[in-house]
Structure 1
């Protein structure tokens, strides 16, 4: 866009003279023969500069500029006075005080006028360029905001879809795994036992895939939460060893672990996430090892300011990984070799999840391997040392009181059967409520010690029923408070938060094991332990 300059003078010959001086500039010159005409033009058009005569009839240059400065559009418009009145500095001072940027006496020296005009044209062009850039940035910001909103909406919809799918799959899966575990405890011949093992193993593999997909979705959307609690690292490693040793024995390979004696027995961190990473690595090692052994090795790399830097290694004698395979290894939905998806199964998410979890805990992870020569997966984590000791684990062999009154609020008949049989195996009995309203009414008539509450039920859901019960307890101080555990196929962190916010005491995600159910019920009756402060050192 060509800059415009407004020249104001009541004499045409003066206008022509000024135009001649400025003819080499790439500008559009607009004439005004009076101050009034100049004011009208300045409100209608955009000017880079005004060259304004002082002596004019009706309205002189000073008055014209004062009017310009009172209007928002022309308040900061550069104005140069050109006048023959310059015998006294008072006229120049008055011009500057009125708001002019300069004062050039007549007769005009062309080079001086051109030099000053060039300065203000450059300023105008730079300002125009800056405004364009700001406009482009604003447009880009708007586009980014739209894209961000779309991405957030897509993430929300995806998370909702995954949560719903997870719930719908977990509900029947709870029946499959639960019943298979119960049947395995009955007298079966060899073939029947083998078939039940296949059903149980298939159900657990399916559950592992669902968990992998949900974990990856949580990491991707930034919803992963970490605990910082005291824990024994040996307990985490021992748990992984106990869970995986049967799988190793089935394949005829060895499984062992070694922990550096210099590692502090009690640390601060998230044992659940460390367990998850180790389980992924050990499970993969066993999967891809056909003979030999798998070792878990923990080494202390150093100790700085009360923080251990620990190296976790999972070493196997398996098939190994090619150089090309290592490049793809920690990417989502990839396995090291193109054929392993079909041969070994899996989502290809385990290592991607492990890498993200390690990174979020300020660590790093990698692998040393050669094709056909086994692999060594390793990760390093900084873990704060705890000077405190952990109390002994409560004796879990102690029997639960047999007079516990338990209510199961569950609308799914299969899940009712599974939970009821699990409780029966623990020597416990439960009553059934088919929805939240029934649960509330049964509890009001004759209070229960424990309510196992499903989240999604017809008429009144578990959250509403829990809120109703807690409201009843508030209104009647003599009404006994009951312990409520959410038993639900919903497994997202938001679901747990909603349950706790509604007044539930604990959260157990389906499908759950008999051991997990027992542990949750024990929490109802064991003495509440004082929570330790985070800074114990």
Structure 2
């Protein structure tokens, strides 16, 4: 790396020294005026570029070489020893001042990546440095009998225009930051530069036409094709050709009365205007290309981030499915056997009380698991609304009936009130509305130690044939501080972190309520006073049900089922529990330990319904279901119900695709199992389809 840098610095120093020597020879030989000041002076721009591009020890070595040559050649062309010394001192001071100002105003690296940077370089570095050196030169040479105005004018025009052209051009050529957007074939570059040279030569044709105008379309073409670096090279080509021709070629007709200095300065202005016009165009194009590249890069990064997010979502879904299965599998036995034991008549009261405590603890644990899964579904947008005909009054009464026992245990008074046409049927997903109500009612009971919990349902008719349903749940509990209210509907958040220790809970219930309310196009909120209770409310718009709309199927009869059930499950405890519960429901049970045994048992064809576990060794429930359906005959239509601790939507969809009729999650409670079996064992095909 050090050798590479040394080689680069050596090549750059050599190139700049040769350029400086060429500029000094040209300026002092062909353009030196009567005061000894050159009309064209490009050498200062090269020196300033050297101070900016080279390390200090390299630039100081170059200064020694260039200073010596400049001093010596001034003596050769006839300047006095004092003037020959003063000219290089002023030139090098001017270059150093411009470089120092450039670093102060344009940054340490002075990278010309935009025209704004070029303008700052010219106005804040080149102009002050050349103006200061012009004043110094005029003051010094006035002492030796030179004309102040003549020296000042000649020095400033020559040095300012020369540095304004040369310094940006050298920086752009030596640091081609934007060249990758303008890579062209060598033959195209040669052709475009040859075009600039030809047009520069045509300016001096002896015709009465403003030939300099031809330079601008040529520069515009070059800017579009070769960019800022091409504009810089073209400026140097123009400077070399025009500066030479203005001296050796006869004057064009439109400049017949101009002096040599006027013609030289006019061409310098032409070169500067053409250069900066083409440079501004090239930088605008380069900036556009850079923005497109940045947009493409950002788009690529966004796609990668989206892919990572999708992968993370899939990983989260897989993790939740695995954890759900691992937690629900042992809970199936805990909840199921607890229910079975509670139905026994010979239990002593202490044992029944202890079993009731186990049952409530299992229900609490199941609530936590369900909260996490429900929130995951809401957050992933996987909740599907299923509107059906329902009575607002019945929804409120059902929800209150479910929490009645919890309120009775805490000796809390439950109140229910109605306002409006609460008996008018509406189309709404009553299961999701009841879920919101149960969350809010459960919270109200949990955070109320004494007093009451009230549910008020208000129904207002809307002008468009819909109803506005407003549910209000109020309590006389602990209340919520005003500065913590806005945190309530955020995930994993509770009003006070100590609350979770006192009352328990995941902090997901209200987040689920808000997610479901938003999904149904409603609003939810709360008003609360610390120590005086809280009132939660939510509003939903529900279309009025059409007359004659299909009513929600009635709850299956709770009587014995009298059916032959094939139970396929690899877990011995689940098989024992399933057989026990099905026996209590009046069913005859056939057991199978895996999918292969389940398919073999189904071939006999004497089962009314199959309960199929999903995750099993050797042959899982999905493969077994496909095999049973392939048997044809009775097995093509026998109801197959999936039983799985994996309750994610993807698993339910996979079960239905494999040919199962429905899916229920573990742990399965006795009443829930009775309901699903009664529905699919119903002789009425319409009831089963519902």
TM-based fold match above 0.5: yes
Aligned to 2:386, the other structure's residue is in SS state coil
Q: Per the alignment, do residues 173 and 117 of structure 1 end up closer, same or farther by CA in structure 2, a change over 3 Å counting?
A: same
Of residues 649, 665, 673, the one that matches 1:517 is: 673
Are 1:237 and 2:396 counterparts? Answer: yes
Deviation at 1:185, TM superposition (A): 0.8
Report if aligned partners of 2:339, 2:359 keep a CA contact under 8 Å in 1.
yes
The residue number in structure 1 matching 2:136 is none
TM-score (norm 2): 0.63
Q: Per the alignment, do residues 435 and 119 of structure 1 end up closer, same or farther by CA in structure 2, a change over 3 Å counting?
A: same
Of residues 164, 171, 191, the one that matches 1:24 is: 164
For 1:288-299, list aligned pairs within 5 A.
Answer: 288-299=447-458
Report if aligned partners of 2:472, 2:537 keep a CA contact under 8 Å in 1.
yes
The residue number in structure 1 matching 2:406 is 247
Whole-angstrom distance in 2 between the partners of 1:177 and 1:162: 21
Aligned to 2:185, the other structure's residue is in SS state helix
The residue number in structure 1 matching 2:500 is 341
Of residues 426, 435, 438, the one that matches 2:597 is: 438
The residue number in structure 2 matching 1:459 is 618
For 1:47-196, list aligned pairs within 5 A.
Answer: 52-53=194-195, 82-84=202-204, 110=267, 111-187=269-345, 188-196=347-355
Q: Per the alignment, do residues 120 and 93 of structure 1 end up closer, same or farther by CA in structure 2, a change over 3 Å counting?
A: closer
Of residues 185, 188, 198, the one that matches 1:43 is: 185
Deviation at 1:273, TM superposition (A): 1.5
Of residues 652, 655, 661, the one that matches 1:499 is: 655
Are 1:508 and 2:664 counterparts? Answer: yes
Give a deviation string over 1:68-118, Cα, whole Å, max 9, x none.
xxxxxxxxxxx98955568599x999999999859x999596345543433
Deviation at 1:214, TM superposition (A): 1.3
Aligned to 2:543, the other structure's residue is in SS state strand
The residue number in structure 2 matching 1:277 is 436
Report if aligned partners of 1:266, 1:386 keep a CA contact under 8 Å in 2.
yes
The residue number in structure 2 matching 1:423 is 582
Q: Per the alignment, do residues 531 and 194 of structure 1 end up closer, same or farther by CA in structure 2, a change over 3 Å counting?
A: closer
For 1:195-210, list aligned pairs within 5 A.
Answer: 195-210=354-369
Are 1:394 and 2:550 counterparts? Answer: no
Report if aligned partners of 1:170, 1:489 keep a CA contact under 8 Å in 2.
yes
Aligned to 2:685, the other structure's residue is in SS state coil
Structure 2: stretches of 5+ with no match in the other structure: 1-24, 32-39, 43-157, 174-182, 223-237, 246-251, 253-262
Whole-angstrom distance in 2 between the partners of 1:501 and 1:487: 15
Whole-angstrom distance in 2 between the partners of 1:86 and 1:422: 113
Report if aligned partners of 1:333, 1:349 keep a CA contact under 8 Å in 2.
yes
The number of equivalent residue pairs is 484
Aligned to 1:529, the other structure's residue is in SS state helix
The residue number in structure 2 matching 1:361 is 520
Whole-angstrom distance in 2 between the partners of 1:86 and 1:438: 106
TM-score (norm 1): 0.80
Report if aligned partners of 2:393, 2:422 keep a CA contact under 8 Å in 1.
no
The residue number in structure 2 matching 1:484 is 640
- After superposing the two structures, state which structure 1 stretch, 263-272 or 278-287, moved more: 263-272
Higher relative contact order at CA 8 Å, sep ≥6: structure 1 or structure 2?
A: 1
Q: Per the alignment, do residues 317 and 86 of structure 1 end up closer, same or farther by CA in structure 2, a change over 3 Å counting?
A: farther
Aligned to 1:346, the other structure's residue is in SS state coil
Of residues 325, 328, 332, the one that matches 2:491 is: 332
CA RMSD of aligned residues (A): 3.7
Q: Per the alignment, do residues 532 and 27 of structure 1 end up closer, same or farther by CA in structure 2, a change over 3 Å counting?
A: farther
Q: Per the alignment, do residues 451 and 118 of structure 1 end up closer, same or farther by CA in structure 2, a change over 3 Å counting?
A: same
Give a deviation string over 1:458-512, Cα, whole Å, max 9, x none.
1101000001111222xxx576521100111111111110100100001111112
Higher strand share: 1
Deviation at 1:349, TM superposition (A): 1.1
Q: Per the alignment, do residues 194 and 49 of structure 1 end up closer, same or farther by CA in structure 2, a change over 3 Å counting?
A: farther
Q: Per the alignment, do residues 394 and 445 of structure 1 end up closer, same or farther by CA in structure 2, a change over 3 Å counting?
A: same
Higher helix share: 2
Aligned to 1:290, the other structure's residue is in SS state coil
Report if aligned partners of 1:48, 1:120 keep a CA contact under 8 Å in 2.
no
The residue number in structure 2 matching 1:74 is none
Deviation at 1:524, TM superposition (A): 1.6
Are 1:372 and 2:372 counterparts? Answer: no
Q: Per the alignment, do residues 357 and 393 of structure 1 end up closer, same or farther by CA in structure 2, a change over 3 Å counting?
A: closer
The residue number in structure 1 matching 2:105 is none
Give a deviation string over 1:165-193, Cα, whole Å, max 9, x none.
11111011011011111111112221111
Report if aligned partners of 1:314, 1:377 keep a CA contact under 8 Å in 2.
yes
Whole-angstrom distance in 2 between the partners of 1:181 and 1:431: 22
Give a deviation string over 1:106-148, Cα, whole Å, max 9, x none.
9596345543433221111112222223333333333333333
Whole-angstrom distance in 2 between the partners of 1:167 and 1:207: 12
